[in-house]
């Protein structure tokens, strides 16, 4: 239940206890996340170096696949560019492959304009998505200047918008923006990245409004939109004749209360997207390593792909202990 509803009596409410029902399988999955087993496919080896285009000028020595692989290793291992270059060279030596490895300056330059057109995860059939955003810190000279000379710190943040599949825990879409972009404006770009029918869209009260409902209806007319209306929300002018989904939510809250509405529509699943944001900050970090916005967009998207790889190894299944 929401904290604000239980605040006067929270000291009388016992803390819920959970246990991991699949601990042996999850324990093996955690061990596999640290495994250094490396394998290659013939398709990857063939696409490692770009094909000749016949155009004028010197062609690039490394394909985008090589740069993307290096970025994934950098984020998964938490290493700077030079250590990432050394790691990739050692992997090539261990595999006995004679393939060119990009140097650290090439990786830093190419990663800023890397084109990522593939989907993070392609669902099998219709899915429900949970949308939310979280802040990522950008460290720069402002932090150092504040520590050295004092004064007002210059802090820069980025907003990571993600759409999560609550059934499997995968990040289906991701978008990194500045803090000037509102959360509701990124619903359309997120849904456009999902190549599957949408059953339902869940989000918190910050997404409440007709623009989000229209965006979801344009993408999937029959999709459910589960967003809690604001406390000051009023029914639309057509609520008595042609009620909208938001009108139904307002009416249900008036009849059952806000907590009863949450249980009736399954709004409790929305917390799973906060879990995904927490996993990002634990596994990847709370700050962005890249400096430019274009490179930061690539970094955030590849980081979500790394988290999906870890999720595919296995995740815990919790059961409430009564």
Average pLDDT in the chain: 86
Rounded average pLDDT over 55-60: 76
* 5 pLDDT tier (thresholds 50, 70, 90): low
Q: Percentage of residues in the chain with pLDDT exceeding 70?
A: 90
pLDDT at 58: 75
Rounded average pLDDT over 92-100: 89
pLDDT at 114: 83
Question: Alpha-carbon distance 90 to 84, whole Å?
Answer: 10
The pTM assigned to this predicted structure is: 0.84
Question: Could you read off the pLDDT of 22-40 as tens digits, one per residue?
Answer: 888 889 888 888 777 777 7
| Residue 12 pLDDT greater than 80, yes or no | no
Whole-Å CA distances, 222 to 15, 189, 191, 246: 38, 19, 14, 14
> Which residue carries 């979801």 as its tokens?
216
Question: Alpha-carbon distance 272 to 131, whole Å?
Answer: 10
Question: Could you read off the pLDDT of 225-267 as tens digits, one per residue?
Answer: 999 999 888 998 888 889 999 999 999 999 999 999 999 999 9
| Residue 148 pLDDT greater than 70, yes or no | no
pLDDT at 301: 92
């Amino acid at each position: 239940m929401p904290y604000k509803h239980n605040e006067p009596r929270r000291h009388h409410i016992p803390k819920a206890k959970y246990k991991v029902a699949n601990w042996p399988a999850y324990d093996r999955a955690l061990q596999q996340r640290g495994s250094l087993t490396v394998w290659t496919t013939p398709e990857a080896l063939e696409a490692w170096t770009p094909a000749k285009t016949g155009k004028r000028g010197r062609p690039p020595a490394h394909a985008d696949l090589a740069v993307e692989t290096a970025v994934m290793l950098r984020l998964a291992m938490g290493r700077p560019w030079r250590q990432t270059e050394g790691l990739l060279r050692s992997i090539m030596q261990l595999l006995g492959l004679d393939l060119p490895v990009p140097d650290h300056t090439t990786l830093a330059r190419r990663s800023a304009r890397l084109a990522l057109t593939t989907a993070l995860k392609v669902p099998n059939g219709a899915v429900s998505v949970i949308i939310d955003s979280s802040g990522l810190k950008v460290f720069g000279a402002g932090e150092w200047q504040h520590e050295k000379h004092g004064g007002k710190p210059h802090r820069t943040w980025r907003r990571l918008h993600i759409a999560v599949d609550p059934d499997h825990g995968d990040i289906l879409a991701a978008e990194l923006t500045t803090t000037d972009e509102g959360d509701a404006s990124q619903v359309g770009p997120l849904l456009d990245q999902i190549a599957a029918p949408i059953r339902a869209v869940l989000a918190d009260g910050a997404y409440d409004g007709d623009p989000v409902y229209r965006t979801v209806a344009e993408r999937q007319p029959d999709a459910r939109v589960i967003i809690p209306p604001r406390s000051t929300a009023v029914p639309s002018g057509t609520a008595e004749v042609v009620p909208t989904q938001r009108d139904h939510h307002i009416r249900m809250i008036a009849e059952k209360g806000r907590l009863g509405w949450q249980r009736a529509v399954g709004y409790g699943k929305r917390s799973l997207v906060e879990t995904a944001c927490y996993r990002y900050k634990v596994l990847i970090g709370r700050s962005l390593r890249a400096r430019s916005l274009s490179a930061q967009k690539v970094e955030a998207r590849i980081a979500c792909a790394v988290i999906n790889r870890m999720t595919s190894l296995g995740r815990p299944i919790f059961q409430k202990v009564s």
